[in-house]
Structure formats: structure tokens, C-alpha cells
Amino acid sequence: MREYALHRANSLGEFGVVSFARRLLRNWKAKRRIVALVDFDDYMLRDIGFTRDEVQWAAGLPLTVNADVALEERAFRRRRNGGSL
């Protein structure tokens, strides 16, 4: 899992020198994609592997956090733990 996290950070450009404004712009775009998921019905969310609570949680994250990555990690932990966080 540690290698996955390091690879993910490296591919997102968070490993090394990255401007703060560029990171905020990327996080803002990610948050827009997450907010669009709020309009999906529960069946569609379940089909793509998320719950409504997870999507609402990710939509409420600050711009300093990449909502796409946070939502993906939270859903992965839920599935790995058999449905519970």
C-alpha cells in the first residue's frame, strides 16, 4: 500500500516542487467532478463503487485536499473492510 501511495503522489505531481496555485486548481476541478456525483441516484453511485455518504463527505472537503483521491481511498477502505470504515 505504501508503494501505491508514493506512486499516486508522484503521478499527481505532489512529490517535489509544485506551485500552491496549481495544486488548488487541480483540487478545484476534482471537487467539481465530485459535486456532479451528488446528482446521481443511489443505484448509479453504488454501480460505480461509492455511497451517497462518501460523495457528500468528499464534496465537503476543503480545496487543500484532492477530493477525487480522498473519495477513492475512502471507498477502497470501505470495500476492503467489508462495508464498514
3 within some domain: no
Tally of domains within the chain: 1
31 within some domain: yes
Average of per-residue pLDDT across 13-25? 71
What share of residues in the chain are helix, strand, coil (percent, to 5)?
A: 65, 0, 35
Distance CA 4, CA 23 (A): 20
2 within some domain: no
Judged by average pLDDT, the poorest of 22-26, 32-36, 41-45, 73-77 is 22-26
38 within some domain: yes
- Give tens-digit pLDDT for 41-82: 999 999 999 999 999 999 999 999 999 999 999 999 999 998
Distance CA 14, CA 54 (A): 24
Residue 27 has pLDDT above 90, yes or no: yes
Distance CA 32, CA 69 (A): 13
DSSP conformation letters of 49-83:
T--HHHHHHHHTS-TTS-HHHHHHHHHHHHHHTTS
51 is in which domain, residue-wise? 19-80
66 within some domain: yes
40 within some domain: yes
70 within some domain: yes
pTM value is: 0.72
85 within some domain: no
